[in-house]
Each structure stands twice: as structure tokens, then as C-alpha cells.
Chains A and B, each alone.
Chain A
Amino acid sequence: MAEPTAGTSLTRAAEGLIAIVLVLLLAFIPLVASTYLIRILTGIFLFVALASAWNLIGGYAGYADFGPTAFLGIGAYTTGILMTQAHMPFPLALAAGGLCAMGAAAGIGAVLLRLRGHYFAIASLGFMLVMEQVAANLEITGGGSGMNLPVARGFTPFYYWMLTLALAAIGTGALVPRLRAGYALGAIRGNQEAAQVVGVRPLPYKVLAYVGSALFFALAGGVYAYWFTFIDPPTVFDPDFGIQAIVMVLFGGAGTVLGPAGGAIVLKSLDILLTNTSGLLHNVFFGGLICVLVLFAPRGLVELLRAGRRHLPDRRRLQRSGAG
């Protein structure tokens, strides 16, 4: 979670300009592109949002959440129920879904985040499985048969919903390291005891990261639900959402700002290409990728790129642990 290397104000301005141009381009795409391309991009934006969100708890806080999809499902179902039962307009229902997930995350996080790494990973997975069962056994959710949402008019709004979510998630990821809370998370991730002895109480900040991740998963779930019109427990509590998000973050670089988004874009695009070629290849691909990552690039793409640039002999690198 290192601060971005101090660049000149010119570099910062240039980066800002590029970002704005990119966003404007993306905003204009639905006016010129095919329906097919628009849907693909929407799918990519979904995973950019999920990956950047997971980075908050998995990257910045260093706690591997294996059940983030629990909140995607909570968001999906809350949105669906409020739209069908309470006839709420979509934006309101979506916001309510987000709030609901935040509350659930705060409650369950306050308990689970007291656990250390591996135990938390298993427990979070367990939570997701429990939520799936809850959804499958309630009447209000339609039980195992699932539920139908009102049909939306036109697809294009979903493109913009997902794009906004993706940008908001990236923006959050960019903002957090600069905030006091971000410093707390970096310290906790480094060494929790050392963080405590300089005054950081770990639990509130871990919960904050968890709640942040949950919010974006839930909002993504709500949009997803309205987009696909029909949801059922296996679909919105599908662990695959979480697994893909995790792999994308690891591939791009956990704890970096743009790594997760970059990982999502690259991997989702490859995924789509491969699915069109062969369904089997898709499964082999992600499994194989995890192996390659662990062996050759455990810190992800961002670190590989940084290391590549640094391979010039440098006096300062003598200070690396090992010399002397």
C-alpha cells in the first residue's frame, strides 16, 4: 500500500486528463457500439467493481474474504424484494440493498474479524453458504424457485450503472490509502501487534474495510438482479463471483490501486474470448492461472512491472535485505 511515488504536478495533471478522457470515451460508447459489445463491457465493469471492492478487505486489510458473494446475494434479493413487494423504484431499492448489506457486514464482521487469517477465510465462506440457505428457505425470496423482478426498459441504463459502480470502487480504492483509516489498515496488514502498540485498535478498521467491500458487492448484486430479471440462490450466491474477483486481484496486484481493475479487465476479456472458443478451456484457464501466479508472480502484475523497470543497477538497491 505504498504511496504513489511523488510525481511532478505535470505527471499528476497528465494522469488526471487521461482518466477524464477515458471516462468520457466509455460514456459515449453505447451511442456507437453494438448491443453485444455493450453487454460485454457491462460484464467487465461488474468485475472491475467486484475486484476493486474485494481489494479493500483482501488487499488493504490483508484479510482473505472467501465469501464476498454473500453480500452480492443480499443486495440482489433486497433489491428484488423491495421492487416486487414494496413497489420501490430501482434506485431506492438498490440503495436499500446496499444499506442492508452494510448492516449485515458490520454485524457479522465484528464477530468474524476477531479471528486470524485462515479461520476468517473459512468462516466467511461459511457465512456465504448460510445466506444461500436462508434465501432458499424463505417464502419472501421465492425459496428455491427464485424470484422475478420487474422487467426493465432497455439495456443501456445497466451499462451506466455498472460503469458508475466500477468507477466508484476504483475511486474508493484510490482514496483509502490517503486517509487516516488507510494508514490504520496498512499497519494492521503489516503486523497487527505492532499496529496496536502505536495506538491502532484493529477491529473497527477491519470491519470498515469489510463493510466497504460488502457495499459494492451488494450494489453490484442489485444491478445484476434487475439486469437479469430472474434470480435464484445458486445464481446470486455463486462462489464463482468471489473466486474470480480474488484471482483478478491477485493477478493485478493486491493492495495496489489499479491492479485489481487491470486484473479484472485483462482476465475477463480473456475469459470471454476463451468461452467463445471452448467451454472446457475456460475452466482450465482459471485453474492454471492460479498455479502460474503462485509460482511466478505472487505479488501480481503491478509488482512484475515495477520490478522490470527497476532492473537497472541502483545504489539504493544495495539496501535490500540480504546485503551485508
Chain B
Amino acid sequence: MMLLEARSVTKLFGSLRAVDAVDLTLAAGEVVGLIGPNGAGKSTLVNLISGLERPTSGTLVFAGHPLQGEGPAARARQGIARTFQVPQSFGTMRVRQNVAVAALFRGQPAASVPLALREADEVLEFVGLTAKADAVAETLTTPDLRRLELAKALALRPRLLLLDEVMAGLTPAEVDGLIAVVRDVGARGVGVLVIEHVLRAVMGLCGRIVVLHHGQKIADGARAEVVANPAVIQAYLGVPYGAAA
């Protein structure tokens, strides 16, 4: 049984076909990349899966159950976690408390606030934010805010993790570090959908890549094939992957 199935999912904003009859599957433990030009519909698709938007038509099936009216909070409790492209922290709370919120409100919540805080510390160590655990979230730099987004998503103990451009703005060393973290998460049986422009990350993480363009899926397959696909090169890469800039 697939962890996530999108069947002919379409989202219209007025007359704009943001997502156009997209089919997608993702199995538990799989790390799939989702790439495409800006405005291709990647973030909209993530909003549809996480419940912040409703599809105009088509169905989304999660762990065998169709997702219908459930709002984002219900989906989070079912095990769908996501990060935001522009990180959204709970600014007035401390970093540790930010993560504890997820531990307290997931499907099988931590039994008490102190336990949630202790769990938060573990997650922060996993993503490399231990030094900032006591900092007030709104004082964080953008890369640290991205790590915090990831930490909150992980504290949800998700079955499906949707990462929206977590790698942006990181040095190659930092990208490699985060790749290791995400690979670890996938190894624990979590299905991960990675939206990225940082190709180093996509190629390092994703065995399979899906490509969206103008809301439609134009490629879906093994990473080596997809980046050699002429349509993908024309629409997105510009030159074959690995060629000189």
C-alpha cells in the first residue's frame, strides 16, 4: 500500500491551473524529489497534501484513507508534516518551546509538558540547534529558522514529511549535513517529498524525481533519467546536470 497517492489532483485559482491533473505516488521510506520552475505548482501541491488548500478535483489518499474534509491540524495529527518555504516560527516562544508544541499536539502526544520539552531537546540535537535551544525564536538567523522548521516537523513523528526548500541558502557543507539528517529520517520508514532547487541536495537524496511544469507532471522516474530528459532540461535545468555553469 502506498503511503501517499495523488490521483488526478487539480487546483484552480480562478482560471489559473496551479496544479493540473497530477498523479503521484510515494511509498513509506522513499525520498522523492519534486522539482520544477518557479510557479510550477510545487508549493500548491504541498498545500493540498497538508490541508491548507482543497483540491478543485481529484483525490488524495494517505495510508489507504482518502483525505477529504480534514483541516491541516487533523492531517498533522494523522502524521503529515510540512515545512514552509519562508520559515514560520512561533516568534515569542523559545526554540525549545517551538518544537515542544509539535510534540504536544501530534497524533500521539507527549504525556506532559516537561516530557515534550525533553523530547524537543533530542530533536534539536538531531538537527544541530542545541546551542540555540534557549534563544527566543524571532532572534534566529534564516538558516537556523529553517532548521527549526525541520525540527518542528520531525517532532510531529510524521509518517509523511513534506520539505519545502529547506536547503536554500546553505553552504555545501551545511547541505551535506542536512542530507544526512533527511536520509536518516527516510531510513526510519518516513516517506519524504523534497521540493528543492538546490540540485546537490536533490541528487544526493532522491532516488526518484518528479518534475512539474505549469502545474502538470512532465517527468517521473529515476534521478539519472529525469535530469537527462530533454524536456526537463529545456524547462528547468537549462543545461544537462553536471555541465559547466
A interface with B by C-beta (< 8 Å): 1-3, 5-6, 178-180, 183-184, 186-187, 189-191, 193-202, 255, 316, 319-321, 323-324
Which residue on chain B has the smallest CB distance to residue A1?
B92
- On whether A180 and B136 interact (CB within 8 A), knowing A194-B84, A195-B90, the answer reads no
Inter-chain residue pair count (beta carbon < 8 A):
116
Q: Which of A201, A321, A324 makes the CB contact (< 8 A) with B139?
A: A321
In the bound complex, CA of A199 to CA of B101 (Å): 9
Query: What 7 A-B pairs come out closest when comparing CB atoms?
Result: A190-B90, A199-B105, A194-B88, A199-B76, A196-B72, A198-B102, A191-B88
Contact status B76-A2, CB under 8 Å: no
Residue of B nearest to A62 (CB): B92
Q: Tell me, in angstroms, the Cα distance from A66 to B113 when the chains sit together.
A: 32
- Interface set, chain B 120-162, CB cutoff 8 A to A: 132, 134-142, 144, 152-153, 155-156
Interface size on B, residues (CB 8 A): 46
B107 — which chain A residues lie within 8 A by C-beta?
199
Cβ-closest chain B residue relative to A318: B141
B139 near A187 with CB under 8 A, answer no
Please give the distance in Å from A180's CB to the nearest CB on chain B. 5
- Report the separation of the CA atoms of residues A195 and B72 in the bound assembly, to the nearest whole angstrom: 9
| Minimum C-beta distance from B129 to chain A (A) | 11
Tell me the complex Cα distance, A199–B51, Å: 11
Which chain B residues border A187 with CB–CB below 8 Å? 90, 93, 98, 101
| Sample of 17 further A-B pairs with CB below 8 A, known A183-B104, A186-B101, A198-B152 | A2-B97, A3-B97, A183-B93, A187-B93, A190-B91, A191-B89, A194-B90, A196-B52, A196-B71, A197-B50, A197-B52, A198-B76, A198-B153, A199-B156, A201-B71, A201-B74, A202-B73
Q: Contact at A321–B141, with CB atoms within 8 Å?
A: yes
**Which residues from B are CB-within-8-Å of A200?**
73, 101, 105
Assembly CA distance A321 to B139 (angstroms): 6
Interface: B223 (CB within 8 A): no
Residue on A nearest B143 in the bound complex, by CB: A324
Q: Is B100 engaged at the interface, CB distance under 8 Å to the other chain? A: yes
B17 proximal to A (CB < 8 A)? no
Q: Which B residues have a C-beta under 8 Å from some C-beta of A?
A: 50-52, 71-74, 76-77, 81-82, 84, 88-94, 97-98, 100-102, 104-107, 109, 113, 116, 132, 134-142, 144, 152-153, 155-156
B101 contacts which chain A residues (CB < 8 A)? 183-184, 186-187, 195, 198, 200
Beta-carbon contact of B113 and A183 below 8 Å: yes
Q: Which residue of A lies closest to B92 (CB)?
A: A1
CB-defined contacts of A323 to chain B, threshold 8 Å: 141
Q: State whether B93 touches A180 (Cβ < 8 A).
A: no
Q: Kindly provide the distance from the CB of A208 to the nearest chain B CB, expressed in whole angstroms.
A: 14
B89 touches A321 (CB 8 A): no
Question: Given that A179-B113, A186-B97 are known contacts, is A191 also in contact with B90, CB under 8 Å in the complex?
Answer: yes
B46 CB → nearest A CB, Å? 10
Query: Cα distance A132–B71 when bound, in Å?
Result: 37
Contact B93 A194 (CB under 8 A): no
Q: Is the beta-carbon distance between A199 and B102 smaller than 8 angstroms? A: yes
A1-B93, A191-B90, A321-B139 in contact; A183/B100 too (CB < 8 A)?
yes
Q: Kindly report which residue of chain A lies nearest to residue B110, judged by CB atoms.
A: A180
Say yes or no: B140 contacts A2, CB within 8 Å: no
A198 pairs with B156, CB closer than 8 A: yes
From A5, A179, A186, A201, B73 is in contact (CB under 8 Å) with: A201
Contacts of B100 in A (CB 8 A): 183
